[in-house]
Chain A
Amino acid sequence: EAGVTQFPSHSVIEKGQTVTLRCDPISGHDNLYWYRRVMGKEIKFLLHFVKESKQDESGMPNNRFLAERTGGTYSTLKVQPAELEDSGVYFCASSHPQGPYEQYFGPGTRLTVT
Chain B
Amino acid sequence: AQRVTQPEKLLSVFKGAPVELKCNYSYSGSPELFWYVQYSRQRLQLLLRHISRESIKGFTADLNKGETSFHLKKPFAQEEDSAMYYCALSRSYSGAGSYQLTFGKGTKLSVIP
Contacts and interface: CB of A to CB of B under 8 A. Distances in A.
Interface stretch (B11-19, B40-48, B71-79): B40-48
B105 A56 contact: no
Nearest to B52: A100
Nearest to A97: B96
Contact of B101 (A4, A45, A50, A104): A45
Contact size range, A: 20 to 34
Nearest to B44: A105
Contacts, number: 52
B12 to A, nearest CB: 20
Contacts of A4: 43
Contact of B100 (A56, A104, A107): A56
Chain B interface size range: 20 to 34
Contacts of A48: 98, 100
Contacts of A44: 103
A106 B43 contact: yes
Given A99-B93, A100-B93, A45 B100 contact: yes
Interface of A: 3-4, 31, 33, 35, 41-45, 48, 50, 55-56, 59, 91, 93, 95, 99-108
23 contacts: A35-B103, A42-B103, A42-B104, A43-B86, A43-B103, A45-B100, A45-B101, A45-B102, A48-B98, A48-B100, A50-B96, A55-B98, A56-B98, A59-B100, A91-B44, A93-B101, A100-B51, A100-B93, A104-B45, A105-B36, A105-B45, A106-B43, A108-B44
